[in-house]
């Protein structure tokens, strides 16, 4: 994190979008996507894309991108789907509950009672459990 006066006032990372050099390093040299830069900078993806356009940095079409939502049980790291072990354990728990003939609603309720987070830290619903079990 940059500082206004060294060691005194920390600046928010979003200010890195105002400097062409910092943005160019992340996007062109480190090969980070606009989404990854937005997470680092604490800015929206559209802010990053606007900054790329403002500095005339070419948007690379050669970079592989992930389109659509991530399936539960996976993370997107370095342009690859990688298994998320914590989420995979939750899927095994769902399968275990389903093998015991629990309803989808009961499984969702059990997951909500345990500290098992959803993909976006929301609340478990029967339809969510149904979709995950159908893909597993």
Token readout for 123 is 């609340």
The pLDDT, as a whole number, for residue 1 is: 44
DSSP state of 122: -
Task: Kindly write down the DSSP assignment for every residue of 11-26, as one continuous string.
Answer: PPGGGGGG-HHHHHII
Tally of CA atoms within 13 A in the half-sphere of 36 that contains its CB: 16
Q: How many CB atoms lie within 10 A of CB 117?
A: 13
How does residue 13 score in pLDDT terms, banded at 50, 70 and 90? low
pLDDT average, residue stretch 90-118: 95
Q: How far apart are CA 48 and CA 54, in angstroms?
A: 10
Per residue in 38-92, pLDDT tens?
A: 777 777 888 888 888 888 887 765 556 666 788 899 988 877 888 999 999 999 9
The pLDDT, as a whole number, for residue 14 is: 60
């Amino acid at each position: 994190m940059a500082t206004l006066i060294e060691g005194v006032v920390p600046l928010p990372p979003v200010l890195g979008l105002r400097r062409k050099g910092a943005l160019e390093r992340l996007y062109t040299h480190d090969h980070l996507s606009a989404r990854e830069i937005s997470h680092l900078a604490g800015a929206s993806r559209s802010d990053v894309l606007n900054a790329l356009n403002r500095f005339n940095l070419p948007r690379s079409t050669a970079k592989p991108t992930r389109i659509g939502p991530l399936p539960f049980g996976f993370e997107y790291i370095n342009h690859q789907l990688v298994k998320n072990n914590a989420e995979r354990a939750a899927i095994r728990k769902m399968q275990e509950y389903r093998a015991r003939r629990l309803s989808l609603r009961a499984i969702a309720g059990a997951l909500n009672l345990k500290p098992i987070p959803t993909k976006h830290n929301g609340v478990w619903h029967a339809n969510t459990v149904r979709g995950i079990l159908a893909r597993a």
